[in-house]
């Protein structure tokens, strides 16, 4: 098992913490990963390995545990390579598992882009886009994200972004402007590649 957590130590330096079969995170000993902050509970969260991978569980902490912006409640949450863990809104860690295999459902996130279906939040290189994308930008990005490599027609884009609106009422300029704004927001957020390609013809 070579998985680890990456984050910033109390001294401000980037640090890595190798995960064991069972890793307790808390404010002080006997926690395996000690985070000496008042907002962190004495026993805050636990990361356990069991087939098919690592799971994180919140231990009824006072200020909560979040994965990719979504709170963990009673049930443990399966961790995937690149997941962002936030403890009590004060500590941000990234879960890294070099041995994790690539599968189609996660190809977008492993390339640096991830969309949380529940909250509609968008993450680029483990950083949440703030302020959030507009509803139209999110709808367009979600359409493309769920079918990487597929070419969408003008009508398909309009149906996804402006449902119920007559396609004739949406100009090419409006679509181009939306794509331009979305590309700009992704670049501003640290995207290392051009996610959206436009084919003319």
List the chain residues with pLDDT less than 70: 1, 9-12, 98-111, 117-118, 126, 192-195, 198-201
The predicted pLDDT at position 83 comes to 87
User: CB under 8 Å to 108, separation ≥6 — which residues?
Assistant: 114, 115, 145, 148
Q: Give the burial class of 156: count Cβ atoms within 10 A of its Cβ; 0-12 exposed, 13-18 middle, 19 or more buried.
A: middle
By the 8 A CB rule, do 45 and 56 touch?
yes
The predicted pLDDT at position 100 comes to 54
CA–chain centroid gap for 57, Å, is 18
User: CB under 8 Å to 118, separation ≥6 — which residues?
Assistant: 70
The predicted pLDDT at position 45 comes to 97
Of 1.20.1370.20, 1.10.10.10, 3.30.70.260, 1.10.1130.10, the CATH number of 104-188 is: 1.10.10.10
Asked whether the CA dihedral 66, 71, 76, 81 is positive or negative, the reply is negative
The predicted pLDDT at position 9 comes to 62
CATH 2.60.200.20 residue spans of the chain: 4-96
Distances (CA, A) of 3 to 19, 103, 106, 190: 6, 18, 18, 25
How many angstroms separate the CA atoms of 68 and 150, rounded?
A: 26
CATH code reported for the domain at 4-96: 2.60.200.20
Phi and psi at residue 182, to the nearest 5°? -65, -45
By the 8 A CB rule, do 58 and 34 touch?
no
The predicted pLDDT at position 119 comes to 76
The predicted pLDDT at position 186 comes to 87
pLDDT, tens digit, 9 for 90 and up, residues 29-52: 899 999 999 999 999 999 999 877
CATH 1.10.10.10 residue spans of the chain: 104-188
The predicted pLDDT at position 75 comes to 84
How many angstroms separate the CA atoms of 60 and 45, rounded?
A: 8
């Amino acid at each position: 098992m070579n998985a680890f957590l990456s984050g910033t130590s109390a001294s401000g330096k980037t640090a890595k913490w190798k995960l064991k079969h069972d890793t307790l995170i808390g404010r002080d000993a006997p926690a395996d990963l000690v985070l000496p902050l008042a907002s962190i509970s004495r026993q805050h969260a636990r990361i356990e390995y069991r087939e098919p991978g690592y799971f994180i569980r919140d231990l009824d902490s006072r200020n909560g545990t979040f994965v990719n912006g979504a709170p963990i409640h009673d049930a443990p949450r399966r961790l995937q390579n690149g997941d962002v863990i936030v403890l009590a809104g004060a500590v941000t860690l990234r879960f890294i598992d070099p041995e994790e295999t690539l599968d189609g459902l996660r190809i977008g996130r492993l390339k640096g882009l991830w969309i949380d279906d529940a909250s509609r939040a968008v993450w680029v290189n483990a950083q949440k886009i703030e302020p959030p994308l507009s509803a139209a930008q999110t709808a367009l990005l979600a359409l493309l994200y769920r079918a990487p490599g597929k070419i969408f027609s003008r009508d398909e884009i309009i149906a996804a972004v402006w449902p119920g609106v007559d396609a004739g009422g949406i100009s090419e300029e409006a679509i181009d402007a939306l794509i331009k704004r979305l590309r700009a927001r992704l670049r501003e957020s640290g995207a290392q590649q051009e996610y959206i390609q436009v084919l003319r013809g």
